[in-house]
């Protein structure tokens, strides 16, 4: 591959595919590459050997408060409504997560109403000011016992760090409720692509101005390709050859399993195991996809230090290291860094979509100004 092109997009996940589509629709010629053998990035889904639609890189549930993002993606997919529910295994009970009124009543064998649960939290909470870490967030809202039962060990397992070593934003993803709402998310839009994420990405990239090449690593071609502009969505430290040292990303190992002649394995989409097992959670895909099948497929997530980069690790020293890379990135006039790995942000899919739409707008307006 030795040639010159106008736009090279590195990575065909949400970030790269959306930028590619926007540029192509504005009449630009785009080459998009991914080192994996498929598009869709971590949202990639596929039918397993038993015909069940699974998410290879762990469960991906779409939720957003931004109608603009749903409208944009609706060009490439229809949707099915899906509200995710999660139970956490604590003291041999399966209890609603996020913690709500039923969690408290069933755990402590109480019969509190909403005001009673509110008063309960007021009594047990350990006020923190300022709220700096993930430990602060949870202690400040529900106190030590619930912290230890639901958050402490899960977080240690997931991140290899104590909650006191992680930024507040990590645990703050999980609300605490006094009502009986047992949905994992409360966003106004909670939908799954009707025919899966991969199909949605294939349609997004099916454009005469887009050439897709999978199984191509940027590192292997970067010296051969002359691109007018590069949109880079891989890990930012890798782009700069780790010149300031490695930026920590948390990895996972996914253990997929099919259970024949088992229509349903668990009552809800995901069961979290804060205190038992080396894995954090089990997800049963049929809940997410609504697929009818005589068997079922599940995935267990085992957190790991090494491996594919899945999570940026939000804590001050990592943010400081990221900032050093970001300064270098700002000097690369012809490169845009977009997405969860390139921006080192614990972004959900809709946030990456929003960042990608904005990046595409910036590139197009800049290029217009130059022309
Ligand atoms: P990615 O999807 O990681 O895409 C980046 C692509 O770049 C990858 O395909 C990679 O192969 C490619 N690449 C990297 N380096 C190179 C290179 N050198 N050359 C070529 N290609 C390269 N979000 C939600 O909203 N809801 C969820 O339920 C949810 N669940 C998640 C569960 C797990 C286990 C994980 C890990 C994430 C989850 N997310 C979820 C977050 C979601 O995956 C991301 O927000 C989104 O996929 C990020 O898109 P991206 O394009 O930035 O990155
Ligand atoms: N968390 C926890 N116990 C749980 C669920 C979540 O301690 O039962 C904490 C944990 O630190 C986790 C974070 O909250 O990493 C965010 O959870 P979320 O389910 O949003 O994680 P993701 O789906 O992004 O892996």
Q: What is the pLDDT of residue 367?
A: 72
Give me the mean pLDDT over the 266-287 stretch.
98
Q: How far is the CA of 343 from the centre of ligand 2 (A)?
A: 20
Nearest alpha carbon to residue 59 among 304, 297, 258: 297
In ligand 1, which atom is closest to the CA atom of 254? 34
| Whole-structure pTM value | 0.98
Q: How far is the CA of 289 from the centre of ligand 2 (A)?
A: 22
CA distance 254 to 299: 6
Q: What is the pLDDT of residue 224?
A: 93
pLDDT at 371 over 60: no
pLDDT at 271 over 80: yes
3-state secondary structure of 279: coil
Q: What is the pLDDT of residue 4?
A: 81
pLDDT at 6 over 60: yes
3-80+192-248+311-370 belongs to CATH 3.40.50.720 = yes
Test site for ligand 2: of 150, 154, 288, most ligand atoms within 8 A of the Cβ: 154
Cβ–ligand 2 distance for 158 under 6 Å, the answer yes
Q: What is the pLDDT of residue 197?
A: 99
pLDDT band at residue 3, thresholds of 50, 70 and 90? confident
Test site for ligand 2: of 107, 158, 309, most ligand atoms within 8 A of the Cβ: 158
Test site for ligand 2: of 60, 98, 153, 171, most ligand atoms within 8 A of the Cβ: 171
CB 303 within 8 A of CB 65: no
Give me the mean pLDDT over the 180-201 stretch.
98
Nearest alpha carbon to residue 9 among 35, 37, 44: 35
CB 86 within 8 A of CB 95: no
DSSP-assigned states of every residue in 221-253 = HTTTEEEEEEEE-S-HHHHTTTTT-PPPEEEEE
Q: What is the pLDDT of residue 1?
A: 54
Contacts of residue 247, Cβ cutoff 8 Å, sequence gap at least 6: 235, 236, 237, 312, 318, 321, 322, 325, 344
Residue pLDDT, tens place only, 235-245:
999 999 999 99
Give me the mean pLDDT over the 172-194 stretch.
98
DSSP single-letter state for residue 165: G
pLDDT at 131 over 80: yes
Residue pLDDT, tens place only, 147-169:
999 999 999 999 999 999 999 99
Cβ–ligand 2 distance for 303 under 6 Å, the answer no
ipTM: 0.99
Residue pLDDT, tens place only, 36-60:
999 999 999 999 999 999 999 999 9
Q: How far is the CA of 185 from the centre of ligand 2 (A)?
A: 12
Contacts 24+ apart (CB under 8 A), 270-273: 270/59, 270/84, 270/85, 270/86, 270/87, 270/184, 271/86, 271/87, 271/88, 271/89, 271/94, 272/86, 272/87, 272/88, 272/89, 272/97, 272/154, 273/88, 273/89, 273/154
Residue pLDDT, tens place only, 290-330:
999 999 999 999 999 999 999 999 999 999 999 999 999 99
Q: What is the pLDDT of residue 366?
A: 86
3-state secondary structure of 211: strand
Cβ–ligand 2 distance for 358 under 6 Å, the answer no
Nearest CA to ligand 1 atom 16: 234
Q: What is the pLDDT of residue 2?
A: 53
Q: What is the pLDDT of residue 235?
A: 98
DSSP single-letter state for residue 164: G
Give me the mean pLDDT over the 251-280 stretch.
98
Give me the mean pLDDT over the 17-34 stretch.
98
In DSSP terms, 3 is beta-bridged to 225
Ligand with smallest separation from the Cα of 304: 1
CB 66 within 8 A of CB 352: no
What is the pLDDT of the chain when averaged over all its residues?
97
Q: How far is the CA of 155 from the centre of ligand 2 (A)?
A: 7
**Higher-scoring residue by pLDDT: 366, 62:** 62
Q: Would you list the domain boundaries of the chain?
A: 3-80+192-248+311-370, 100-171
Ligand with smallest separation from the Cα of 165: 2
């Amino acid at each position: 591959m030795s040639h010159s092109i106008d736009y090279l997009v590195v990575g065909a996940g949400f970030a790269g595919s959306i930028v590619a589509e926007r540029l192509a629709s504005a009449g630009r010629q785009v080459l998009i590459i991914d080192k994996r053998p498929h598009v869709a990035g971590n949202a990639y889904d596929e039918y397993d050997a038993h015909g069940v639609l699974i998410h290879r890189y762990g469960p991906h549930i779409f939720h957003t408060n931004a109608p603009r993002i749903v409208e944009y993606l609706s060009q490439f997919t229809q949707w099915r409504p899906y509200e995710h529910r999660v139970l956490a295994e604590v003291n041999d009970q399966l209890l609603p997560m996020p913690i709500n009124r039923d969690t408290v009543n069933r755990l402590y064998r109480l019969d509190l109403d909403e005001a009673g649960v509110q008063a309960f939290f007021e009594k047990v909470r350990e006020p923190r000011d300022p709220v700096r870490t993930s430990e602060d967030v949870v202690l400040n809202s529900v106190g030590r016992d619930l912290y230890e039962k639901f958050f402490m060990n899960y977080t240690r397992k997931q991140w290899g760090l104590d909650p006191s070593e992680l930024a507040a934003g990590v645990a703050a993803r999980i609300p605490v409720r006094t009502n009986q709402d047992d949905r994992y998310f409360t966003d106004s839009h909670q939908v799954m692509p009707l025919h899966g994420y991969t199909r949605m990405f294939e349609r997004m990239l099916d454009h005469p101005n887009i050439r897709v090449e999978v199984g191509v690593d940027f590192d292997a071609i970067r010296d051969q390709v002359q691109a007018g502009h590069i949109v880079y969505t891989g890990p930012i430290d890798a782009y700069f050859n780790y010149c300031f040292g490695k930026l920590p990303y948390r990895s996972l190992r996914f253990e997929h399993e099919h259970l024949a002649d088992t229509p349903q394995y668990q009552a809800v989409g995901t069961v979290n195991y804060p205190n038992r097992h080396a894995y954090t959670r089990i997800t049963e895909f049929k809940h997410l996809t609504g697929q009818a099948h005589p068997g079922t497929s599940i995935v267990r997530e085992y957190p790991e230090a090494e491996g594919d980069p899945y999570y940026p690790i939000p804590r001050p020293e990592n943010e400081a290291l990221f900032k050093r890379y970001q300064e270098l990135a700002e000097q690369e006039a012809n490169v845009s860094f977009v997405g969860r790995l390139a921006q080192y942000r614990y972004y959900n899919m809709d946030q990456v979509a929003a960042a990608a739409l904005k990046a595409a707008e910036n590139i197009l307006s800049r290029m217009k100004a130059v022309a």
